[in-house]
Amino acid sequence: MNILIPPFTRESAIKKVRMAEDSWNSRDPHRVSLVYTEDSRWRNRTEFPVGRTEIVLLLTKKWAKELDYRLIKELWSFTDDRIAVRFAYEWHDDSGNWFRSYGNENWEFAANGLMKRRFASINDMPISQSERKFHWPLGRRPDDHPGLTDLGL
């Protein structure tokens, strides 16, 4: 696993954000959890998991509900050991209702490059299937697929 460590430059922060996006688009809770410290603390909507075990449980529950999940993250700002991102993802529920979820995340990293804190604010907006903008096959977003800014999001 390639982990970028602080202090971050603009280039390494952008790479770190893309690595996170790729990991989350795998929809593999165990894979995602490995980039967080053993005692990582989160705020995700109204849940406050601590540690990898709780992160895996949260993500397992999330992706059982949020079907055909596709995510785009974009760097907002960074400092030596912190990165702020904005993101949007599209998904549908088990009744076929589509949503676009918008949010912001604030990340803080340990010296070894693992994320020790993640604070996420997320809002869901119902959309019609015809309003979807994320159409790549499940998994990693293709390099030539537009990002959030290019999509007007």
Mean model confidence pLDDT for the chain:
97
Q: Is the pLDDT of residue 63 over 90?
A: yes
Give the pLDDT mean for 29-54: 97
Q: Which residue range is the domain that position 46 belongs to?
A: 10-131
Q: Is the pLDDT of residue 2 over 80?
A: no
In a domain, 114, yes or no: yes
Q: Alpha-carbon distance 67 to 63, whole Å?
A: 6
Cβ atoms of 70 and 134 within 8 Å: the answer is: yes
Q: Alpha-carbon distance 119 to 88, whole Å?
A: 15
Q: Is the pLDDT of residue 133 over 70?
A: yes
In a domain, 141, yes or no: no
DSSP 8-state code for residue 50: B
Split into its structural domains, the chain has a count of: 1
pLDDT one-digit tens code per residue, 71-112 = 999 999 999 999 999 999 999 999 999 999 999 999 999 999
Q: Specify the pLDDT at position 1.
A: 59
Q: Specify the pLDDT at position 3.
A: 80
In a domain, 108, yes or no: yes
In a domain, 143, yes or no: no
Q: Is the pLDDT of residue 59 over 80?
A: yes
Q: Alpha-carbon distance 128 to 72, whole Å?
A: 19
Q: What is the CATH number of the domain that holds 122?
A: 3.10.450.50
Q: Alpha-carbon distance 109 to 123, whole Å?
A: 25
Is the pTM value of this prediction over 0.75? yes
